[in-house]
Amino acid sequence: MKHPAAQLKTVVGYEFTTFRKNKVFMGITIVVALLLLALTILPPLFVGKGDSSSAAGGDAGAQAVIQVFDPDGVIADREALEALLPGCQLDFATGAYDDTAAAAIQNDQLDGALTVEDDLHFTYYAKNAVMSSEYQQISGALKSYRQQYMLGQAGLTEAQILDAMSAPQVSAMETSGKDIMSTYALTYILILLLYISIMLYGQLVATSIATEKSSRAMELLITSANPNNLIFGKIIGVGLAGLCQMVVWLAVGAVGIGFAKDFWMNVPFVSGVLEAPPYILLLMVVFFLLGYLLYASLFGALGSLVSRVEDINTTATPIILLCVAGFILSFMGMADPFSLLIRVCSYVPFFAPMCMFVRVSMSQVPIYEIVLSVAVTGVAAGFFAWLSAKIYRVGTLMYGKPPSLKQLAAVLRESKG
């Protein structure tokens, strides 16, 4: 019989190679990678195309040509309105909006047309008027223009008008000095990644063990190798395969974002992730490994108790509910990371990988609390790994209906004796 370390290495290598050669696993890896590449590369290209494809005939290629129909001369200061619409080229026309202007819009000779009834009523015509960016710009510009005009009529100077119309800039910051928008985006993405990876790869461990048991291959394996090496090798092997899959997806996403970094840095949701401090990413890896080890051990134990792969979902329901509860609690914590519930759950092993990560990402947490949470989760993960090895040993020859907790405890006591 091989040395235990050699056995463990062999099982890890076998499990990793099995997933690497699995067509479904590799197919999912490639498909998700291609989707990430498309989602990160295509938006900047389409946005850039939309910005440069303004109506024909404009002096500035990036400007949208808007024809303004103001027969009564309501807009007295046209230059002031044009200054408020730097992204549009205004073409003031005499007469009223008619079929000729409508046809010009349909034929892409105009981006839109604006009719002026009086100083409070305007109508904007375009192919997709409500959803167009020009509609939003024109609405805001007309509001500002009217305010400027009325303040000017009241005798205020230009400097006083600009000062009166300056909107205060209000930023939301945590007491720890963290910007809420960037940390919320980062936490949202990483918590989702933690949840999906723990659930997905944990269940893969259970499926692998149940498949071997249903085919009776487990009985042969356990006679030629240490049961601890078998289950730990599966957990490590599946974890390595999953980690490689995640690295591929993150690398592809990074390449796609790097293709148009200037564009994505202007998107608050994405820039918050790109500017994440290194310690946040390090803690994510730590909590991922601990959470995966804990849940994969539980899934592995359940996989050795069922006789058919189809029974996994039913038997694993309590574990799935625990993971879902941690996911829900972490989202509650994103709304209030200082709440007592989240603080308590950040020390409960089943919830700590996600709840403590939320607190670290969105607030200032003392180092000793982080160390305590990691230690508690690590001890719990080690305990459940040890317990899963015991269950795996006695569950090898248990077929039929999965045993109850009382029956399982009795079998474990007998095996110990």
The DSSP bridge partners found for residue 195 are none
CA distances from 346 to 31, 90, 282, 340, 349 (A): 35, 58, 17, 10, 8
| Sheet with 64-69, side-by-side order of all strands | 88-93, 64-69, 112-118, 121-125
pLDDT (0 to 100) of residue 411: 53
DSSP string across 282-295: HHHHHHHHHHHHHH
- State the pLDDT at residue 268: 60
- Quick one: pLDDT at residue 375? 94
The confidence score (pLDDT) of residue 50 equals 43
Q: Which letter, b or e, does each residue of 259-280 get, where b requires 16 or more Cβ atoms within 10 Å of its Cβ? A: ebeebbeeeeebbbbbebeeeb
Give me the helices (H) in 215-307, please: 217-224, 227-259, 261-264, 268-274, 278-303
Report CA-CA distances (Å) from 254 to 44, 245, 248: 15, 14, 10
pLDDT at 75: 84
pLDDT digit string (tens) for the chain, length 417 residues: 556 677 778 878 888 888 888 888 888 889 988 998 888 888 777 764 444 343 333 344 457 888 888 888 888 888 888 888 888 888 888 788 888 888 888 888 888 888 888 878 888 888 776 666 778 788 888 888 787 777 777 777 767 766 766 665 544 444 444 555 556 767 777 788 778 887 888 888 888 777 776 665 555 555 566 767 777 888 888 888 888 888 898 888 888 888 877 777 776 666 666 677 778 778 888 888 888 888 888 888 887 777 677 777 777 788 888 888 988 988 888 878 888 999 999 999 999 888 888 888 878 889 999 999 999 999 998 898 888 888 777 666 555 555 555 555 655 565 554
pLDDT digits (tens, 9 = 90+) for 350-406: 998 888 888 888 788 899 999 999 999 999 988 988 888 887 776 665 555 555 555
How confident is the model over 276-317, as pLDDT tens digits?
777 877 888 888 888 888 888 888 888 777 767 777 777 778
Position 19 scores a pLDDT of: 80
What pLDDT is stored for residue 181 in this prediction?
56
**What pLDDT shows up at residue 148?**
78
396: enclosing H helix or E strand: none
Q: What is the DSSP string of 169-185?
A: P---B-TTS-BHHHHHH
- What are 233's two structure tokens? 């090798």
Query: What is the C-alpha separation between 91 and 82, in angstroms, rounded?
Result: 10
pLDDT at position 410: 59
Q: What is the CA radius of gyration of the chain?
A: 31
Reported as half-sphere exposure (CB side, CA atoms, 13 A), residue 69 has a value of: 17
- Give the closest residue to 89 by CA, choosing from 50, 19, 162, 138: 138
Give one word for 391, left, alpha or beta, with left for phi > 0 and alpha for psi -120 to 50: alpha
Residue that has been written with the tokens 């024909």 in this structure: 56
